[in-house]
C-alpha cells in the first residue's frame, strides 16, 4: 500500500467518522432535559495509521492490501466516547440505535460482562452511510464507550500490559484486575452521589471497602485505596 493509496483509501472512513462525531455532539446537547447533566466528558477519535493497518492484516494472516483492509478490518475509523456514568453509556447507545440510517454491525458489552483481565467498555461498530457522486456506501466506525474510570484503567493497561511481553506479566495482571474491581466500586459510589444507578442495589462505601480489603492479594496496596482517591479529589 503506497502512501497515496492509503490517503485515498481512508477518506470515506474519515467522512464516516466525522458524520458520527456530529451525531454524538447533537446527542450530547439533547439527550437529557437538564443541561447540567450532559452525558459525555470527552470524545477521542482516530484513523488507523497505515503501519497499524498493515500489521493488523499480517496478524490476521492476510496480505496487507487495501482490499483486505476493507474486507477484514472494521476499526479503521475509531471513536472513543468517555462518559460520566454507565447509565449515560446505555442512554447514548439506545439513542444512536434510534437513528435508522445507521446500521449496527457488531456489539460487545464488556461492561455487563467484563473481560477476564478486568477490561470494561462497550464496543459497537456502526455502519455510517457516506454519500458521494455515484451513490451511497456504508463505512464502519468502531465506537468504544467508557466511563472515565474504565478509560483510566484501559489506557494504563494498554500502556503497561496489553500486547506486551514481560516476565512479571502474570503478577501485574493480577494487580490490575484487582484495581479494576476497586474502580467498579468507586464508580458505583460516585453514581450514588448524583442519584445515578448503575445497579439496583449499590454497595455502601463501608461494604465496598471491606470487600476491597478482603479481596486483595497485595497487602502493600490494600490500605484503603478508595478513600485515598476521594481525598485527592476533595
Nearer to ligand 0O2, 119 or 190 (CB): 119
Minimum CB separation of residue 183 from ligand 0O2 in Å reads: 13
CB contact at 8 A, 53 and 13: no
> Which CB atom, from 75 or from 196, has the smaller least distance to ligand 0O2?
75
Q: What angle do CA 61, 65, 69 make, to 5 degrees?
A: 75
* Grid cell at residue 198: 448503575
Burial class (CB in 10 A: 0-12, 13-18, 19+), 117: middle
Close Cβ partners of 4 (under 8 Å, ≥ 6 residues apart): none
Contact 126, 140 (CB under 8 A): yes
Minimum distance from residue 200 beta carbon to ligand 0O2 (Å): 27
Residue 85 DSSP code: S
User: Do residues 127 and 105 touch, judged by C-beta distance below 8 A?
Assistant: yes
Alpha-carbon span 100 to 90, nearest angstrom? 17
CB of 89 to ligand 0O2, least distance (A): 15
Of residues 65 and 117, the one with the C-beta less far from ligand 0O2: 117
Phi-psi region of 110 (alpha: psi -120 to 50; beta: other; left: phi over 0): alpha
> Between residues 38 and 62, which has the closer beta carbon with respect to ligand 0O2?
62
User: Based on CB atoms, which residue is closest to ligand 0O2, 187 or 209?
Assistant: 187
Residue whose CB is less far from ligand 0O2, 30 or 164: 164
CB of 5 to ligand 0O2, least distance (A): 21
Q: How far is the CB of 197 from ligand 0O2 (least distance, A)?
A: 26
Compute the least distance from the CB of residue 113 to ligand 0O2, in Å: 12
Residues contributing to the site for ligand 0O2 (CB under 6 A): 75, 108, 115, 117, 119, 123, 154, 157-158, 162
CA distance 185 to 208: 6
CB of 121 to ligand 0O2, least distance (A): 7
Q: Between 31 and 144, whose beta carbon lies closer to ligand 0O2?
A: 144
Taking residue 111's Cβ as centre, other Cβ atoms within 10 Å add up to: 19
Amino acid at each position: 500500500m503506497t502512501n497515496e493509496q492509503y490517503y485515498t483509501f481512508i477518506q470515506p472512513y474519515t467522512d464516516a467518522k466525522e458524520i458520527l462525531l456530529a451525531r454524538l455532539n447533537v446527542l450530547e446537547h439533547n439527550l437529557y432535559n437538564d443541561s447540567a447533566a450532559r452525558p459525555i466528558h470527552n470524545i477521542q477519535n482516530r484513523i488507523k495509521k497505515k503501519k497499524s493497518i498493515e500489521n493488523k492484516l499480517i496478524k490476521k494472516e492476510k496480505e496487507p492490501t487495501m482490499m483486505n483492509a476493507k474486507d477484514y478490518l472494521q476499526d479503521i475509523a475509531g471513536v472513543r466516547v468517555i462518559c460520566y456514568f454507565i447509565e449515560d453509556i446505555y442512554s447514548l447507545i439506545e439513542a444512536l440505535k434510534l437513528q435508522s440510517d445507521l446500521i449496527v454491525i457488531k456489539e460487545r458489552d464488556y461492561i455487563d460482562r467484563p473481560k477476564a483481565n478486568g477490561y470494561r467498555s462497550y464496543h459497537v461498530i456502526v455502519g455510517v452511510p457516506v454519500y458521494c457522486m455515484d451513490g451511497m456506501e456504508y463505512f464502519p466506525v468502531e465506537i468504544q464507550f467508557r466511563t472515565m474510570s474504565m478509560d483510566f484503567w484501559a489506557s494504563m493497561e494498554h500502556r503497561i500490559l496489553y500486547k506486551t511481553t514481560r516476565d512479571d506479566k502474570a503478577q501485574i495482571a493480577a494487580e490490575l484486575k484487582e484495581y479494576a474491581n476497586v474502580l467498579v466500586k468507586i464508580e458505583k459510589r460516585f453514581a450514588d452521589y448524583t442519584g445515578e444507578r448503575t445497579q439496583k442495589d449499590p454497595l455502601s462505601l463501608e461494604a465496598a471497602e471491606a470487600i476491597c480489603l478482603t479481596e486483595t492479594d497485595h497487602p502493600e496496596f490494600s490500605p484503603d485505596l478508595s478513600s485515598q482517591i476521594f481525598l485527592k479529589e476533595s
